[in-house]
């Protein structure tokens, strides 16, 4: 049992070392800037537009549920009804959208990145790039990382909007609190810092998602079976790191 | 000329190449032959820099590839083209984009010049009218030819082909062999081909290095390969009933 634990610890530190070596390769100068920008635009389009629908649907549903649950918990007449809007907004802006949507994007975009890079590794396309004298990590991964750093915060802003809209529509349809009280709560003590906090978190989570997913795809050895394992590992590890960083960033920023 | 001097390669504790010494001559088709698992692909990956040998050197015109700095390696790699066993064409690109890719990356040609070069390369490998198709839409032989077109797009000095005939029928294999031979002599390329296809051995092998369990067992040419008295080489060459019959008739 002790031997297994030591081996696991050793493997853990080796993987961390490999990850940072990989990052150094990713952040090397692109071989040709014009090609880099072309790929960046392509990745932004694929990631942003491709994820918009799922992000909107999940956000509307999440906003609706959090508003309903908050309203149900606040039954005391001592608590003003605008609290429903206030608590919903705070939960949505500060935690639910940045964290839950980032985890959703790990499953959606992260697995796609691992599968794409992994299949290129398995079919020797990455070797082909290397033989041509192209830095594969920089060529393939850097546009994805930069694209996710740009696109994910934008998606989260949209997500916040749709989640608040979901709550608002729910309030109108159910009449659990008045529309004016809900809007009062939404705007009560609004701080721009809350949005900054959400965007900073998303920015960090986006980096983790894209770099970890790429790392697991890039280091695949073997065939289709390993590709499936790597996709799962990429999702699990990214999600785990995001949850830990969520706690740390919250302690630092709040 | 490419010289391999005392190259050994290990994977962990397992040694797969043992003190290999051989030469690949300029402007010729140089074959590396041997059974599956003998170390041919590992040797080729050491030649192109995908693996670094633990011992020995690989010299390109007396320049030691594995001890060059990065810009020098980069410059040398621009002189290489490689055809992989599975073709390794980029799935997300059309055939035209695949062949144009090295031109995009390494040249300052205008769009018109690039298109002209792509058409020339595809025409040279007898692949007309496939510019807009994706690799998934091509047959195995067509993919190999497209991979050759991509490999020669930047006028390489060195062409590496890893099992170019694997998975192809005998007639298509012959077409690929002839294409590799013609291109080598037409453009003065130094070509290295990994193969265990006997037809390639006796038709295009201007120099032949026979690898057996990681050791260079025999070196010669297509004329010498059929009449060698090396037992391991003969076991490999005359393994099939058809080749055994040929041996009897020699």
Q: What are the C-alpha distances in Å from A230 to residues A9, A139, A214, A233, B243?
A: 19, 21, 10, 5, 45
pLDDT, position B55: 93
Report the SS3 class of residue B230: coil
- The answer to whether B192 and B161 have CB atoms below 8 angstroms apart is yes
Q: Do B50 and A131 touch (CB under 8 A)?
A: yes
Other C-beta atoms lying within 10 Å of the C-beta of residue A137: 23
Alpha carbons A141 and A25: distance in angstroms, whole number: 9
Sheet holding B63-64, edge to edge: B14-24, B2-11, B55-60, B63-64
pLDDT, position B227: 83
pLDDT, position A100: 94
pLDDT, position A2: 58
Name the one residue in this structure whose structure tokens are 């990681």.
Answer: B214
Catalogue all structural domains in chain B, each as residue range(s) with its CATH number. Answer: 2-79+157-249 (3.40.50.300), 86-155 (no CATH)
Number of domains in chain A: 1
CA distance A33 to chain B (A): 10
DSSP string, A122-144: HTTHHHHHHHHT--HIIIIIHHH
- Predicted confidence band at B248 (pLDDT cuts at 50, 70, 90)? confident
**Per-residue model confidence as pLDDT tens digits over B48-76:** 999 999 999 999 988 899 888 888 888 88
- Ranges of chain A with pLDDT below 70: 1-3
- The answer to whether B53 and B5 have CB atoms below 8 angstroms apart is no
Does pLDDT of B246 surpass 80?
no
Output the average pLDDT for chain B.
90
- Hey, what are B190's tokens? 């130094």
- Hey, what are A254's tokens? 């709040």
Q: pLDDT above 70 covers what percent of chain B?
A: 100
Pairing mode, if any, of strands B29-33 and B207-212? parallel
How many Å separate Cα B57 from the centre of its chain? Answer: 19
pLDDT, position B71: 85
Nearest to B48 among A35, A125, A131 (CB): A131
Alpha carbons A63 and A163: distance in angstroms, whole number: 4
**CA-based nearest residue in chain B for residue A30:** B105
Alpha carbons B34 and B23: distance in angstroms, whole number: 16
Residues 6+ apart with CB under 8 A from B209: B22, B30, B31, B32, B33, B216, B218, B219
Burial class (CB in 10 A: 0-12, 13-18, 19+), B236: buried
- Hey, what are B204's tokens? 């295009």
Burial class (CB in 10 A: 0-12, 13-18, 19+), B231: exposed
Q: Do A32 and B88 touch (CB under 8 A)?
A: no
Q: Do B88 and A123 touch (CB under 8 A)?
A: yes
Name the one residue in this structure whose structure tokens are 């060459």.
Answer: B237
Alpha carbons B203 and B177: distance in angstroms, whole number: 8
**CA-based nearest residue in chain B for residue A125:** B88
Which residue of B82, B93, B154 to mutate against A (max A Cβ within 10 Å)? Answer: B82
**Per-residue model confidence as pLDDT tens digits over A68-101:** 999 988 877 788 888 999 999 999 999 999 999 9
pLDDT, position B172: 83
Q: Do B105 and A31 touch (CB under 8 A)?
A: yes
Alpha carbons B134 and A155: distance in angstroms, whole number: 32
Domain membership of residue A39 as a residue range = 2-253
- Hey, what are A200's tokens? 């900073």
- The answer to whether B168 and B203 have CB atoms below 8 angstroms apart is no
pLDDT, position A3: 63
E strand or H helix that includes residue B137: none
Residues 6+ apart with CB under 8 A from B36: B196
Alpha carbons A212 and A206: distance in angstroms, whole number: 10
Which residue of A14, A128, A129, A140 to mutate against B (max B Cβ within 10 Å)? Answer: A128
B54 touches chain A (CB under 8 A): no
């Amino acid at each position: 049992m002790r031997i297994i634990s030591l081996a696991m610890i050793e493997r853990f530190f080796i993987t961390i070392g490999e990850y940072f070596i990989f990052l150094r390769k990713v952040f090397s100068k692109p071989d040709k800037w014009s090609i880099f920008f072309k790929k960046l635009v392509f990745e932004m389009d694929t990631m942003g537009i491709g994820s918009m629908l799922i992000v909107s649907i999940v956000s509307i549903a999440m906003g609706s549920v959090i508003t309903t649950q908050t309203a149900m918990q606040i039954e005391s007449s001592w608590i003003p009804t605008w609290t429903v809007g206030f608590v919903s907004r705070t939960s949505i802006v500060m935690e639910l959208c940045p964290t839950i949507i980032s985890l959703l994007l790990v499953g959606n975009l992260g697995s796609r990145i691992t599968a794409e890079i992994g299949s290129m590794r398995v079919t020797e396309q990455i070797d082909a790039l290397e033989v041509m004298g192209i830095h594969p990590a920089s060529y393939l991964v850097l546009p994805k990382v930069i694209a996710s750093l740009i696109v994910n915060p934008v998606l989260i802003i949209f997500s916040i909007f749709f989640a608040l809209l979901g709550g608002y529509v729910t309030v109108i349809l159910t009449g659990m609190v008045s529309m004016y009280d809900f809007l009062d709560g939404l705007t009560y003590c609004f701080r721009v810092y809350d949005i900054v906090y959400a965007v900073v978190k998303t920015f960090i989570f986006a980096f983790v998602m894209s770099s970890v997913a790429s790392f697991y795809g890039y280091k695949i050895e073997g065939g289709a079976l390993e590709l499936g394992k790597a996709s799962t590992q990429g999702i699990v590890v990214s999600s785990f790191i995001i949850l830990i960083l969520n706690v740390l960033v919250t302690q630092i920023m709040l | 000329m490419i010289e391999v001097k005392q190259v050994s390669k290990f994977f962990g504790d397992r040694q797969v190449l043992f003190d290999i010494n051989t030469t690949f001559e300029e402007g010729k088709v140089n074959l590396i032959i041997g059974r599956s698992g003998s170390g041919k692909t590992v040797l080729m990956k050491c030649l192109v820099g995908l693996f670094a040998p633990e011992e020995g050197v690989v010299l390109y015109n007396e320049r030691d590839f594995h001890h060059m700095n990065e810009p020098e390696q980069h410059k040398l790699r621009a002189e290489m083209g490689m055809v992989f066993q599975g073709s390794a064409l980029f799935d997300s690109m059309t055939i035209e984009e695949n062949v144009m890719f090295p031109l995009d990356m390494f040249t300052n040609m205008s769009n018109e010049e690039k298109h002209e070069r792509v058409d020339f390369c595809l025409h040279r490998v007898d692949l007309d009218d496939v510019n807009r198709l994706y690799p998934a839409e091509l047959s195995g032989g067509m993919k190999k030819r497209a991979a050759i077109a991509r490999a020669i797009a930047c006028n390489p000095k060195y062409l590496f082909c890893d099992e170019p005939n694997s998975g192809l029928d005998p007639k298509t294999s012959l077409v690929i062999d002839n294409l590799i031979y013609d291109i080598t002599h037409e453009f003065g390329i130094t070509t290295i081909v990994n193969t265990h296809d006997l037809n390639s051995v006796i038709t295009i092998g201007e120099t032949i290095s026979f690898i057996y369990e990681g050791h260079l067992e025999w070196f010669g040419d297509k004329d010498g390969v059929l009449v060698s008295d090396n037992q391991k080489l003969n076991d490999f060459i005359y393994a099939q009933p058809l080749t055994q019959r040929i041996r009897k008739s020699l």
